[in-house]
Structure formats: C-alpha cells, structure tokens
C-alpha cells in the first residue's frame, strides 16, 4: 500500500473571472490542458507497479465536465457546504491499481450563475503538493494566454535530481502510538508557527485525546511533517521541479506536553532543524540524497514501532478521515 494516495485541490471562480457561459470556454480549458500535458507528459502516462516507473505513451488524463443547479455564491455562503467539496474533485484515479488508471483527473463544474469550480486529483506516486501547484498554475497560464507561453520549468526531472536508490514504495501511515516513556521539559514559545503547524498541532492534540480515551493511558506520540526540498538544499532544486521532492521530519511529543502551542512549537522547531540539515546537503551528491532517504526510511521504521503519523503540509484532508 502506498501512503497518502492522492493530492487534491478544488478552486472556485466567480463568473466574471472565467465565465463558462459561452460554449467556447470549456473546449479552451480542455485544449490548454492538452498543451500543458505535452510539457508535463508523465502526468498523461500510466504507472507501472512492477518497475515503479511511468509508461509515457500519451495515454491521457481524465477531464470531466459537471453542472450543478445552484449559484456559486449560494454554495460558498454556507459553511455547512464544506462537506460537499469532494463533489468538485474527480475520483477516478488509481482506484483499482490497474495500469489503465490515469494518474491525473480534472473536473470542471459549472454553476448556474456561470461560476466555475476546477477540481484536480493526482496520484501521489509522481505528484507532491508543489507539483500539483505547478501543474495548476501552468494550466492557468496556458489557458489565459492567447499566445502560447512555453513552460520553461524543469518539469519531471526528479529522477535526475534524485536517482533511484532502491526504496520501492512508501509505507502506509497508521494511527498508532508508542508507549516509550520519555519526559522532557517544556520550553517557552518564541516561534512563529505556520498555519499548517498550528492546525496540525490542534489535530495532533485531538488525536492524543482520542488515544487517551481509547486506551485509558497517556502515551507518547510522533508526528511526521513533509518538508519541501525545493530551494532548501545547498544545491539548487528549481521551484517548478515536478515529482516527489520532499523529505520527512519527525516530531516527538511526550506526555508532559499538553498545550497546543507547545506542540506547535515542537513542530516548528523540528522543521527548522531539518531544514538546517538539508541546507548543508547537496541533492547531486550521495550524502545529500542519503540524508533525504534516511528521513523517509526512519519513518518506515517508526510506523512499525507505532507512533501517530499525521503528515501535515499535505493538502489531503481525506487522510484524516480515512486515518
Ligand atoms: C481522489 O482519487 C482517489 C483515488 O481514485 C479517490 O480515492 C479519492 O476519493 C479522490 N478524491 C475525491 C475528493 O474524490
Ligand atoms: C533536467 O535536468 C538536467 C540537469 O540539471 C538538465 O540538463 C535537463 O535539461 C533538464 N531537463 C529538462 C526537461 O528541463
Ligand atoms: C515561560 O512559561 C512559564 C510557564 O508557562 C511562565 O510562567 C513564564 O513566565 C514564561 N517565561 C517567559 C519568559 O515567557
Ligand atoms: C541532521 O543530520 C544528522 C547527520 O546526518 C543526523 O544525525 C540528525 O538526526 C539530523 N537531524 C535532523 C533534525 O534531521
Ligand atoms: C530502525 O529501528 C531499529 C530498532 O528500533 C533501529 O535499530 C534502526 O537503527 C532503525 N533504522 C533506521 C534507518 O532508523
């Protein structure tokens, strides 16, 4: 099983921005999608499980058009509607693990007011959060510009950046806890947390509460954060590089830590340390590559031992539901 199966995103546009009121808009989106796929061609290929490679014969991606019988503003105005967000994201990728499954699915949903939702769902096998953003922004640029602007980024060049080193597949993170007892003092907060860290801390604390209730015992836990490697190593990994270009950063929490702020501090501190570490390594030499691999292997290790693994920084809220 692979972990965090897909990367998903839904964007909403009110009608003046990209009104698909004229029948030409939809074909335009489809056409620009085709153009961007010629440059990011692995997305249109198929994943071959046996060789952990992508067969690129332009097999294509999913492009779905849907209509909803509601106005965009009526949808967005109610917080209750958050539970329907998934309806704007297509799902037909990698479900059956068949080689025929596309690696990327897109869905354009039109509202009766002319507003539009663009939903994207891509396999995490070759796409990380940054890659998804690059894809979406390049699609937008290609769609917007009358005159073709060539995508000049390195695209899917990650196999050159990080040659394969025999790590075949990712472990599936599980909700477990270890019972190692290790007491550490708390420190006073001097950190600026990111929103992701603060939200992760809240979720982490909630999970610890659930665990306590379930086992009637307060246990230690660990949280794993993904750290984008682009721009963080001693050698340049271009921002628009595509692929899975991240390392992992594991944070431990002992039972003495109770406050959400303290958890957020820990998350922030360990990311800082990890980033400092990465900044000393080069992606183009073995030492740097091993540093990144080690962070992933050590997670594989601890997931068997049994920590909590909630990869934040991941735009995949599904993960938490599926645990
Ligand atoms: C994204 O695709 C995966 C795999 O097909 C699916 O399990 C998941 O439900 C999809 N996400 C949404 C929001 O439909
Ligand atoms: C990939 O990276 C290599 C080395 O940096 C470079 O020579 C090559 O042109 C890149 N490929 C693309 C498609 O950008
Ligand atoms: C550090 O935290 C402790 C306990 O939360 C508090 O009593 C103390 O005033 C704090 N010190 C500083 C310098 O903020
Ligand atoms: C930093 O790198 C050193 C040496 O590779 C390693 O022992 C240490 O655990 C790393 N620290 C972090 C926070 O990644
Ligand atoms: C995995 O865990 C074992 C036992 O805890 C330890 O001996 C080993 O060094 C760990 N390996 C890595 C790569 O962290």
The atom of ligand 5 lying closest to the CA of 298 is: 14
Same domain, yes or no: 136 and 251: no
Q: Which of the listed residues 101, 135, 152 is the one where a domain comes to its end?
A: 152
In a domain, 185, yes or no: no
How far is the C-alpha of 203 from the C-alpha of 83, rounded, in Å? 18
End-to-end CA distance of the chain: 14
CA–centroid distance, residue 36 to ligand 3 (Å)? 53
Long-range contacts of residues 20-26, Cβ cutoff 8 Å, at least 24 apart: 20/108, 20/110, 20/114, 20/116, 21/114, 26/65, 26/108
Tokens of 289: 């590559």
Q: How far is CA 321 from the centre of its chain?
A: 15
In a domain, 269, yes or no: yes
pLDDT (tens digit per residue) in 105-124 = 999 999 998 889 999 999 98
Place of tokens 């958050």: 82
Return the CATH number at 274.
3.30.559.10
pLDDT (tens digit per residue) in 18-28 = 555 556 788 88
Same domain, yes or no: 148 and 199: no
- Predicted pLDDT at 161: 72
Q: 220: which residues sit within 8 A by CB, 6+ positions away? A: 177, 178, 179, 180, 181, 182, 252, 253, 254, 255, 307
- Predicted pLDDT at 224: 87
CA–centroid distance, residue 94 to ligand 1 (Å)? 9
Tell me phi and psi for residue 155, to 5 degrees: 60, -145
Same domain, yes or no: 126 and 213: no
**pTM for this model (two decimals):** 0.77
Same domain, yes or no: 211 and 288: yes
Q: Which of the listed residues 122, 152, 182 is the one where a domain comes to its end?
A: 152
In a domain, 161, yes or no: no
* Cβ 15 under 6 angstroms from ligand 4: no
Tokens of 5: 């199966």
Give the Cα-Cα-Cα angle 127, 177, 268 (nearest 5 degrees): 55
If one counts the domains in the chain, the total is 2
223 conformational bin, left if phi > 0, alpha if psi -120 to 50, beta if neither: beta
How far is the C-alpha of 249 from the C-alpha of 226, rounded, in Å? 6
Greater confidence (13 vs 320) lies with 13
In a domain, 236, yes or no: yes
Same domain, yes or no: 16 and 102: yes
In a domain, 190, yes or no: no
Q: 112: which residues sit within 8 A by CB, 6+ positions away? A: 67, 68, 69, 70, 71
When the pLDDT of each residue in the chain is averaged and rounded to a whole number, the result is 78
* Cβ 304 under 6 angstroms from ligand 5: no
Same domain, yes or no: 99 and 21: yes
Q: Which of the listed residues 100, 119, 152 is the one where a domain comes to its end?
A: 152
Place of tokens 């961007």: 36
Q: What is the DSSP secondary-structure string of 148-211?
A: -----S-BS-HHHHS---S---PPPP-B--B------------PPPPHHHHHHHHHHHHHHHHH
Average pLDDT over residues 88-101: 72
User: Mean pLDDT highest for which of 94-98, 148-152, 171-175, 227-231?
Assistant: 227-231
CB 265 within 8 A of CB 191: yes
Same domain, yes or no: 269 and 205: yes
* Cβ 167 under 6 angstroms from ligand 5: no
Same domain, yes or no: 222 and 141: no
Tell me phi and psi for residue 199, to 5 degrees: -65, -40
2 pLDDT more than 80: no
In a domain, 80, yes or no: yes
Residue-range definition of the domain harbouring residue 20:
6-152
233 pLDDT more than 80: yes
Same domain, yes or no: 203 and 101: no
Q: How sure is the predictor about 61, in pLDDT bands with cuts at 50, 70 and 90?
A: very high
CB 118 within 8 A of CB 6: no
In a domain, 169, yes or no: no
Of 121, 134, 128, 106, nearest to 39 (Cα)? 134
- Predicted pLDDT at 173: 43
- Predicted pLDDT at 93: 64
Counting ligands in written order, the one closest to the CA of 279 is 4
- Predicted pLDDT at 284: 81
- Predicted pLDDT at 311: 44
In a domain, 175, yes or no: no
The atom of ligand 1 lying closest to the CA of 90 is: 14
Same domain, yes or no: 219 and 96: no
* Cβ 274 under 6 angstroms from ligand 4: yes
Q: What is the DSSP secondary-structure string of 214-259?
A: HHTS--BEEEEEEEE-TTTSSS---TTB-S--EEEEEEEE-TT---
Tokens of 38: 């010629």
Same domain, yes or no: 109 and 208: no
Same domain, yes or no: 277 and 200: yes
pLDDT (tens digit per residue) in 176-188 = 333 333 333 445 5
Q: What is the DSSP secondary-structure string of 81-113?
A: GGGGGGGGS---SSSS--TTS-SEEEEEEE-TT
- Predicted pLDDT at 136: 95
């Amino acid at each position: 099983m692979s972990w965090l199966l897909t990367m998903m995103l839904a964007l909403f546009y009110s009608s003046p921005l990209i009104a698909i009121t004229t029948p030409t808009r939809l074909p335009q989106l489809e056409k620009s999608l085709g153009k961007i796929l010629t440059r990011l061609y692995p997305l249109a290929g198929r994943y071959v499980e046996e060789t952990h490679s992508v067969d690129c014969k332009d097999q294509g991606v999913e492009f779905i058009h849907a209509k909803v019988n509601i106005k965009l503003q009526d949808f967005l105005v109610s917080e209750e509607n958050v539970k329907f967000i998934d309806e704007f994201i297509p799902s037909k990728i990698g479900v059956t693990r068949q080689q025929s499954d596309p690696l990327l699915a897109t869905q354009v949903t039109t509202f009766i007011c002319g507003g539009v939702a663009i939903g994207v769902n891509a396999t995490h096998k070759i796409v990380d959060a940054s890659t998804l953003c690059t894809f979406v922004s390049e699609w937008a640029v290609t769609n917007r510009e009358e005159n073709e602007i060539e995508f000049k980024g390195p695209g899917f060049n990650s196999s050159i950046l990080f040659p394969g080193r025999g790590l075949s597949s990712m472990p599936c993170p599980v909700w477990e806890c270890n019972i190692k007892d290790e007491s550490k003092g708390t420190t006073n907060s001097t950190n600026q947390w990111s929103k992701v860290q603060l939200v992760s801390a809240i979720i982490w604390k909630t999970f610890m509460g659930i665990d306590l209730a379930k086992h009637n015992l307060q246990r230690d836990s660990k949280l794993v954060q993904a750290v984008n490697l682009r721009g963080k190593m001693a050698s340049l990994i271009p921002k628009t590089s595509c692929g899975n270009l991240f390392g992992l950063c594991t944070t431990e929490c002992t039972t003495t830590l109770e406050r959400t702020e303290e958890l957020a501090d820990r998350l922030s501190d360990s990311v800082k340390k990890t980033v400092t570490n990465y900044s000393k390594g080069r992606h183009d030499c073995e030492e740097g590559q091993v540093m990144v691999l080690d962070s992933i292997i050590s997670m594989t290790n601890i997931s068997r031992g049994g920590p909590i693994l909630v990869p934040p920084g991941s735009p995949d809220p599904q993960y938490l539901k599926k645990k």
